[in-house]
Amino acid sequence: MTSKPRCIEDLFDRAELHDLVTVLTGCLDTRDFDGLSGVYTPDATLETPAGVSTGAAAIVDVARSNHEIYAATQHFVSGVAITQNGSQATVTADVLAVFVPTQSQPGEHRMLGSRYTFQARKGRAGWRFQQHVITPIWAHSPPTDQ
């Protein structure tokens, strides 16, 4: 049987891991790219259909280039699941991202449903993501003019 102090520590860990997902998407939506770097370990990797980026600075650069081209973005997070094993954890979340076009490039909002999978580790600074995999599930893009 797990002791009460251990159970409480596990709950705090789970809350911190859940908050990391919220902080990450909040940083994207508020364009707080400096804050985004604090979510990842320095040697973190990001895997997307466009390729792999290594290092927190490279991940921030990718996020900046993929989000600053829109007037605004909004990420909705659901279905967060956490599997923890000591100082390592796997976190998955379903993310719906809405991309609002700029006035100079008017059009419909673009929507993308993805699954985010993270490998996290706990260090002196707390939990950080060391691997982030984005798997698109579906997309709704405005029709293109022909």
Domain residue ranges in the chain: 4-140
Which pLDDT belongs to residue 5?
A: 76
Contact call for residues 134 and 46 (beta carbons, < 8 A): yes
pLDDT 10s per residue in the chain (146 long)? Answer: 667 777 888 999 999 999 999 999 999 999 999 999 999 999 999 999 999 999 999 999 999 999 999 999 999 999 999 999 999 999 999 999 999 998 887 778 899 999 999 999 999 999 999 999 999 999 997 666 54
Got the DSSP string for 22-77?
HHHHHHHHHT-HHHHGGGEEEEEEEEETTEEEESHHHHHHHHHHHHTTSSEEEEEE
The architecture CATH gives domain 4-140: Roll (3.10)
Phi and psi angles of residue 49, each rounded to the nearest 5 degrees, phi first: -60, -20
- Confidence (pTM): 0.90
Closest CA to 63 of 129, 122, 142: 129
Which pLDDT belongs to residue 121?
A: 97
Closest CA to 27 of 16, 38, 17, 18: 38
Give the Cα separation of 145 and 143 in Å (integer). Answer: 7
Phi and psi angles of residue 123, each rounded to the nearest 5 degrees, phi first: -125, -165
Contact call for residues 28 and 67 (beta carbons, < 8 A): yes
